[in-house]
Homo-oligomer: A and B are copies of this chain.
């Protein structure tokens, strides 16, 4: 582990700086995780930054050293969740298979994300909690996800693997049901997150593909 002076490539003077940056980023993430958990259990307004700070063994001004204000913290929490969905969805959507198969994959990813800290935060964050600029980004990210799903539904309509009356309604129904997971899922419950995700997605897909619920 000891790094000898000239041993590795470029033991440049920047190393310490990048190290700093990494630590700073790690601390930001820690703040976000802790904040997300607290927001999720007590609610945004009911969670003071003092509480967040205390949970991190730190004081409030320290938090302000890493974030401009409370709004930024909330927004970054939701962005973690939304980005996770978008990124994983893009990967899934780019794979092979019928539109229905890819849709199932995307919905499953969505479902899984909605059951972790940041996903739950997304589900519970009503947009009037955010400042105007944050709200706009928040909405934009959500629209992106909506567009991704909608696109697959349309594609499925073309290749015949998906059958719905109204694309908007179908997309909305699926997305809302999955958002609900954020409020409903209990890790201490009888089913694991992947099990729940599979089951819910299956129920939804039954409605979207017209193949009915498999009762195998």
- Interface set of A (CB-CB < 8 Å, partner B): 41-43, 45-46, 124, 126, 128-129, 163-166, 169-170, 172-177, 179-181, 183-184, 196, 199-200, 202-215
Q: How many copies does the complex hold?
A: 2
Q: Is the CB of B43 within 8 A of A199?
A: no
B213 with A207: CB separation less than 8 A: yes
Given the interface pairs A177-B176, A206-B207, A212-B212, the reply to whether A199 lies near B169 with Cβ below 8 Å is yes
Contact B128 A42 (CB under 8 A): yes
Report which of B128, B165, B175, B196 forms a contact with A43, defined as CB distance below 8 A: B128
Residue of B42, B202, B207, B211 near A204 (CB, 8 A) is: B207
Closest to A169 in B: B199
The residues of B that contact A46 with a CB separation of less than 8 Å are 128
Do B184 and A180 touch across chains, with their CB atoms under 8 A apart?
A: no
Given the known A-B contacts A166-B199, A179-B176, are A210 and B208 also in contact in the complex, defined by CB atoms under 8 Å? no
Nearest residue, chain B, Cβ from A180: B176
State A46–B128 Cα separation when bound (angstroms).
9
A129 CB to nearest B CB, Å? 7
Task: Kindly name the residue among A42, A43, A179, A213 whose own CB sees the greatest number of chain B CB atoms within 10 A.
Answer: A213
Q: How far apart are A126's CB and chain B's nearest CB, in angstroms?
A: 6
